[in-house]
């Protein structure tokens, strides 16, 4: 059995990824989200508030009997409030950083501690963003959290070169995907985000990736990691 632990399975890439994986009866998916939209025999759901540090700290990964491989996908993320620093709501700012950065770090730590003695394929996929390298005005928390997640991926790679407990880690940017986050971006006031016209144009030109296509590519990469040339990878679909 291949075990997949995926955050943010209530919609978007996370939901599409879980459903695509479940087409294979040798896959088992544990999804993390506030809402459950998937009902399958090989799917379990954990109602976990990823913006709540206590909730994350109290979570423990389960035993994985007869596991052939395990994979953690830190997919859940929020753009947060789109405003310039000095105009942001403090609580929203803190919750965005916890959801996008603190929660994945704690889950990675728990995942690596729980399964370090298993001699099977063990993979960590952090869903990144081009915003980790591009400073978009109004996206401060999102840019910072994605940059931090990319750095942590590189740190883990460095550590595995030293201790080699068998973990592979990748930071994969999915491109611009047609999700709720994109809807929120297009509704932004120009005074809060000066580049909103670019995202409106991409929608109008129908160039956004669909979640299912990104999900299929992610599965391909997980199954064939030799296609990933570096710890950081950006999906480009034909």
Q: What percent of the chain has pLDDT over 90?
A: 95
Residue of 28, 43, 142, 167 marked catalytic: 142
CA distance 72 to 93: 25
* Mean pLDDT in residue range 176-191: 94
CA distance 19 to 38: 8
* Mean pLDDT in residue range 78-99: 97
The band of 238, judged by pLDDT with boundaries at 50, 70 and 90, is low
Instruction: Specify the pTM.
Output: 0.96
pLDDT at 91 over 80: yes
Taking only the tens place, the pLDDT of each residue in 2-61 is 999 999 999 999 999 999 999 999 999 999 998 888 999 999 999 999 999 999 999 999
Structure tokens at 157: 């790679």
To the nearest 10°, report the CA torsion of 109, 114, 116, 122: -80
To the nearest 10°, report the CA torsion of 121, 126, 130, 135: -140
Give residue limits of the domains in the chain: 2-175+210-234
pLDDT at 229 over 90: no
CA distance 100 to 148: 9
Multiple choice CATH, 2-175+210-234, 3.30.830.10, 3.40.50.720, 3.10.20.30, 3.40.640.10:
3.40.50.720
Annotated catalytic residue 142:
yes
């Amino acid at each position: 059995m291949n075990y997949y632990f995926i955050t943010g399975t209530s919609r978007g890439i996370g939901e599409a990824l879980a459903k695509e994986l479940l087409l294979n009866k040798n896959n088992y998916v544990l999804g993390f989200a506030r809402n459950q939209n998937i009902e399958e025999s090989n799917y379990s759901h954990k109602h976990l508030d990823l913006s709540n540090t206590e909730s994350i700290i109290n979570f423990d990964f389960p035993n994985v009997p007869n596991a052939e491989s395990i994979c953690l996908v830190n997919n859940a993320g929020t753009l947060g409030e789109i405003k310039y620093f000095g105009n942001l709501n403090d609580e929203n700012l803190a919750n965005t950083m916890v959801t996008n950065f603190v929660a994945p770090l704690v889950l990675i730590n728990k995942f690596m501690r729980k399964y370090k003695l298993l001699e099977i394929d063990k993979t960590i996929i952090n869903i990144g963003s081009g915003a980790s390298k591009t400073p978009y005005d109004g996206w401060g928390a999102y840019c910072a959290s994605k940059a931090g997640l990319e750095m942590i991926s590189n740190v883990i790679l460095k550590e595995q070169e030293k201790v080699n407990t068998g973990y592979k880690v990748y930071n994969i940017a999915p491109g611009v995907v047609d999700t709720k986050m994109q809807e929120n971006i297009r509704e932004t006031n120009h005074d809060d985000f000066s580049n909103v016209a670019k995202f409106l144009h991409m929608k109008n030109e129908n160039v956004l990736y669909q979640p299912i296509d990104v999900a299929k590519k992610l599965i391909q990469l997980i199954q064939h990691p030799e296609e990933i040339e570096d710890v950081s990878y950006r999906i480009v679909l034909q």
